Amino acid sequence: LPSMQTSGSKPCPCPSFKLREVASMYLTMIAVFLVILVVALQGSAPRGSDFPYKVPLDPQGLLELSWNVSYPEQAVHFQLLIKDLQFGLLFGMSDRGEFENADLAVLWSDGHNSYFGDAWSDAKGQLHMDSQQDYQLLGARRAPEGLFLLFRRAFSTCDPKDYLIEDGTVHLIYGILEKPVHSLQAINISAIHRGLQRVQLLKPNITVPELPSDMKTMEITAPNVVIPSQETTYWCYMAELPDGFPRHHIIMYEPVITAGNEALVHHMEVFQCAAEFDSFPHYNGPCDSKMKPDRLNYCRHVLAAWAMGAQAFYYPEEAGLAFGGPGSSRYLRLEIHYHNPLVFKGRHDSSGIRLYYTATLRRYDAGIMELGLVYTPVMAIPPGEDAFVLTGYCSDKCTQLALPAAGIRIFASQLHTHLAGRKVVTVLSRDGRERQVVNADGHYSPHFQEIRMLKEVVAVFPGDELITTCTYNTEDRSQVTVGGFGILEEMCVNYVHYYPQTQLELCKSAVDPGYLHRYFNLVNRFNDEEVCMCPQVSIPQQFFSVPWNTFNRDVLKSLYGFAPISMHCNKSSAVRFPVRVASQP
């Protein structure tokens, strides 16, 4: 299973299979009868500083997860606050938030005693006690807020039934038991109140830079929004910098969440508008409304991005993100994604992002560069694919031309695809060899995108290559998916945040269109159904007429793997550096 750790996924001191078999009966007996006296334990709440990361698990905010990460121990410590405990709960992890093939910690009560154990679910959702107990219970205590449950889990356990905790997105799942159960096997996961929450569990251990004494703050918040009574809403609000606002550096930002709405505000972004327009209309409403002015589509330069579970974002002490001053628009667009699955009505919200900025400019301007694939229909994914791979290149020729001799330093990254994206990774290659992973997310979700600070700053020098690979799933689609801007089209992008800023803003590729034309010729030669290749027929139309048999799929995969690529090595003015077609590495 892709989401479960196998004994070969990391070298660990695992017992042999036969030894584990012998031990399993003893371990299972202990686990089933592990009683915790949660009712009898009274005390104060654990200190919040011990668990710096926090996220609500459910839309009502009845379950609140806090955690810390110990890299020396290679373990995560969890604190789960249950505000209204009934007869127990399930908490765990799975590949994409499924309750089948999941790795679970289960607290359950038969009405008399309470039990805790490490469990797993099979492909049918049936629960089983794990023979190796890797969710280690550390304590349980009652407080005025509710029941605090503390437990520990190693990143890697050598248990084939356990989830391997890795960098990137983790799909957390929960289920609430509303009736007593007499055994773990009696829990019917399809009949309980359940849900999922996405987080980045393994936060980077970054030292917070010292902030300057002249630092000021600015809150970009949507004023008194009545959250629509529907599951998903994207809300847009236009803000404006003061007249004559001089050039500053943003050095930090953090979320501002209206109290009580922590479970509804899913993610937020602040965009700066294009400087080519003198003014932008005021707007405060749904982003998909017909009343939204079209000009707001020109507000796309990201200044800040936050997603649920993220903390404050800090720029390195030697760099800041410039805004204000000549050549910079005074207009900003705040976009808030409200996730309201319980369809609450009449909830008011004034959330947003607080920017911390300074007039004392730091040594370097930070920049944002797009890596990956060009937004073009020449890159396509056939229907019915479980893991189709596309790769975009920032070539050695481009970095040789565009980067300074001392190179650049990448300190943060935001991965991006549309709905079919499942994995994204960017690697640094030097002299034809992969040297370093820039950012990777093996459980990527298009519903959870945030700017993530990297654990280590990545140095990129002239002549290096940055290779971004995306994996897609189109099993639920009957038509081909082409590249483009539409939500049902696809993208493969890594927005890397770096310093010092250069003229290079976009470093991406696509397959050479001439070789795609040869592909359509080949399809016509070997298939009964003819693909129309008339000049007036668009590339998407040609793809839509391809019969997606095994041969046509395999040839397209080969084309994307070996055909020459067209490089887009663009300056911020959209003028290209003189780099064109190149062979794939």
Residues labelled as active-site residues: 234, 416
75 DSSP assignment: E
Beta strands in 327-441 (DSSP E): 331-339, 348-349, 352-358, 364-365, 367-373, 380-381, 388-394, 408-416, 421-430, 433-441
Distance of CA 253 to the CA centre of its chain: 19
Distance of CA 274 to the CA centre of its chain: 26
Instruction: Report yes or no: 152 and 76 within 8 Å, Cβ to Cβ.
Output: yes
Per-residue CA distances from 18 to 14, 15, 27, 118, 566 (Å)? 11, 8, 14, 21, 55
Q: How far is 331 from 448, CA to CA, in rounded Å?
A: 26
User: Which residue from 487, 496, 320, 526 is spatially nearest to 392, judged by alpha carbons?
Assistant: 496
Cα dihedral 281, 287, 290, 296 sign: positive
Q: Where does residue 223 rank: exposed (0-12), middle (13-18), buried (19+ CB within 10 A)? A: exposed
- Sequence letter at residue 553: R
Among the residues of 527-564, which ranges form H helices?
539-544, 550-562
Cα dihedral 509, 514, 518, 524 sign: positive
For the chain, the first-to-last Cα distance in angstroms comes to: 31
Instruction: State how beta strands 319-323 and 364-365 pair.
Output: parallel
Three-state secondary-structure class, residue 516 = helix
The strand pairing partners of 219, in sequence order, are: 354
User: Which residue from 513, 462, 267, 480 is spatially nearest to 385, judged by alpha carbons?
Assistant: 480
What are φ and ψ of residue 346, in 5° steps? 75, 15
Q: What is the dihedral of CA 191, 197, 203, 207, to 10 degrees?
A: -130
Instruction: Report yes or no: 272 and 284 within 8 Å, Cβ to Cβ.
Output: no
The dihedral region occupied by 260, where left means phi > 0, alpha psi between -120 and 50, and beta the remainder, is left
